[in-house]
Amino acid sequence: MTLEAARQKLQEMQFEIFPAGDGRILARKHGCAAGLEERDGVLAFFARPGRVVGGELARLIDRGYQKFLKTSSAEVPALLDDLRHLNQFQRELRFAVHAPQLFNESLGTVSDRYIYDRVWFRDEGRQPKAWEQPSLQS
């Protein structure tokens, strides 16, 4: 699917479309947004689908006990309505642009990062020894 075909389909499905420069578009609906571009004739995301918080696209972070919406300047708990709207947005967006729906994504909202309170440095592929004092930086 081309970017222009995706733009037309998204507009038919009542998405708000904004130019994002360099032939890119930003699709917005349900308080969520995603950035689309065409790379080598293939439609791709330049900004993953996320909830808009304070005018900025937030990343969904799972801390094990709670999901959070994180922007460059804030981190707020993700409420049930936030997750519901994000899930609905992702399903409609994927349908509109003919993107594949993976099994784990169809079960519910998938986070951008998983940061559990007792698993330090998980994203870096290492776990400290019991006697090491980890620094808790996000």
- The residue extents of the domains of the chain are 3-120
| Contact status, residue 78 vs residue 60, Cβ threshold 8 Å | yes
- C-alpha neighbours within 13 Å on the C-beta side of residue 31: 13
Q: Are strands 16-21 and 24-29 parallel, antiparallel or unpaired?
A: antiparallel
Lowest-confidence segment of 18-22, 42-46, 50-54, 63-67 by average pLDDT: 63-67
| Contact status, residue 85 vs residue 30, Cβ threshold 8 Å | yes
pLDDT tens, 78-115? 999 999 999 899 889 989 988 776 665 555 566 666 66
Spatial distance between the Cα atoms of 116 and 114, rounded to a whole number of angstroms: 6
